[in-house]
Amino acid sequence: MHPSSLVVAERGSTGPQDLVLIKRAMRGDRDATEQLLQRLSCIPRFVFRLNRSLGMCLPADALEDVVQQVYASVWPRLADFVGSAAIESWVFGFCRNCLRAQARKRRQSGVVFGAAKDVDADDSPFEPAVSAAPDAERSESVELLRDELARLEADERAVVEMRFLDELSFEQIARVLDLPASTVKDRCYRAMTRLKGRLQRRDRHA
Amino acid sequence: MTATPDPDDFASAAADLQRAHLLGSLTASERARLREACGEDAALAREVAADLDLHDLLSRERGLLVDALRPVSPSEEADETMTRMLAASGRAEAELRARLLHAAQSAPVRAPRLRLRTAVLVAVAVAAAVWIASALGAFGGPPSLQRSAPRDERAGGELSGIVIAPQLSASERSLSWGPVWHAHGYEVVVLDGAGKVVLQRGDAHTKSTQWELTTSEFETLRQRQAPLFLRVRALDSSGLCVTSSGDLPLTLK
């Protein structure tokens, strides 16, 4: 499957159904609970891959902690899930944040862990990540973007993510959110202008 | 004669193009026009360059997501780190399952609510039936409320839910609660902070609304670390839950 259709299939189109699934699971529906847990089984894979793609190289014990932390963070936030994206993409954010927090914690406590080149070496048994071995600057910029995305209003963030991460058209987004396409475009433009402004300001300060 | 383009029109068209560029919805010809406009306007060129930087970051972010979404490859599956992570995931999953099911069980069960429209329709139908019956002389006199004795399956009081003040001491080892209409029994359990049952009343099918704990049962509770919770669920004749007290903090003196 082409990556972009993979993303659309796993993310944008299932948001509203996923909201129903989570609500059912929260009401104690056993089938829904099992389905939800099945969907959350992507967590170790996400953490494993992100660790590699972001060049963090945390060791196995730290990654085990991250996996547990992601589950623990998801639980109190289930009620906040609004269904604008699929469960997987929602969880992806948790994986990233927990991974970053763990890496920061380790750095602060002076624990040294492997360098990025160890993981992305030619003899690695894994297929290379899409953006394998990002240099520190690139990786930092993407992290800045994540921070700024997180600072956007939830409705604006959802539109930007659907448009640029899921690659949905404005018409598709409008259908998912049940809004006119013109409203979606305005919201997206507002959010993108805000994002651009903030990143430019950060660049100037840097 | 050639018409000279209005500078305001040009600026407005360039702004529209830049807006579409930021939204990632330019066609190839529009992109060419924007490039041309940038050649004549340095400020516009800077804006477009900033748009491109932002798009580049978003595309890298997307790359990370696409990478994460790929199915696990056999080599990853065999990796020791991944094996350990999957084991950790299994433990966390079991915990989340317990939490989800426990939270749902401890939430008080609400009686289904009639929708307003249904309630109005029912009220109108009942009023019409009463009016027709009285017109046909079904009632001997004017309509009046009659206090009929219900099939009393409760000990008394007008309670619709369980009311408890759970507190125990060595001298007062009794727990009691208000009866529930049509309840055929009560399942009474004491849970610890993790939602694990610590103690359970022996017979769930008795209508008694009291639980007299034995000394040893009380000791079992006293040896446990706080917090403790009491949950009383009223059961119908099929053993299904009619209503629940939820998890009430139980204090031991």
* pLDDT tens digits for range A73-126: 998 899 888 877 788 888 988 998 898 888 888 877 765 554 443 333 333 333
Spatial separation of the C-alpha atoms in residues B211 and B67, rounded to whole Å: 58
Q: Is the pLDDT of residue B231 over 60?
A: yes
Q: Which residue of A has its CA nearest to B54?
A: A196
Residues of A in contact with B23 (CB under 8 A): 163, 170, 185, 188-189, 192
The neighbour count for residue B104, using CB atoms within 10 Å, is 17
- For A126, the token pair is 């894994």
**Percentage of residues in chain A having pLDDT higher than 90:** 31
The helix (run of H) or strand (run of E) holding residue B211 is strand B210-212
Q: What is the model's pLDDT at position A134? A: 47
User: For chain A, what is the mean pLDDT?
Assistant: 78
Q: Which residue of B has its CA nearest to A63?
A: B85
B227 prior amide bond cis, ω within 30: yes
Cβ under 8 Å to A: B residues 49-108: 50-51, 53-55, 57-70, 72-73, 75-76, 79-82, 84-89, 91-93, 95-97, 99-101, 103-105, 107
- Beta strands B248-252; B167-168: pairing state: parallel
Q: Is the pLDDT of residue A7 over 60?
A: no
- For B86, the token pair is 């999957």
Spatial separation of the C-alpha atoms in residues B173 and B253, rounded to whole Å: 10
The HSE-up count of residue B49 (CA atoms within 13 Å, CB side) is: 9
Confidence label for A56 from pLDDT (cuts 50, 70 and 90):
confident
Spatial separation of the C-alpha atoms in residues A133 and A148, rounded to whole Å: 23
The 10s digit of each residue's pLDDT in B174-212 is: 887 777 766 778 888 888 877 788 888 877 667 788 888
Spatial separation of the C-alpha atoms in residues B81 and A81, rounded to whole Å: 30
Gyration radius of chain B over CA positions: 35
Q: Is the pLDDT of residue B154 over 70?
A: no
Please give the average per-residue pLDDT across B24-36, as a whole number.
88
Nearest to B220 by CA among B201, B233, B205, B204: B201
Q: What is the model's pLDDT at position A52? A: 86
With 0.90 as the threshold, say if the pTM is over it.
Answer: no
Spatial separation of the C-alpha atoms in residues A110 and A155, rounded to whole Å: 39
Spatial separation of the C-alpha atoms in residues A204 and B16, rounded to whole Å: 26
Q: Is the pLDDT of residue A4 over 50?
A: no
The 10s digit of each residue's pLDDT in B47-61 is: 899 999 899 989 888
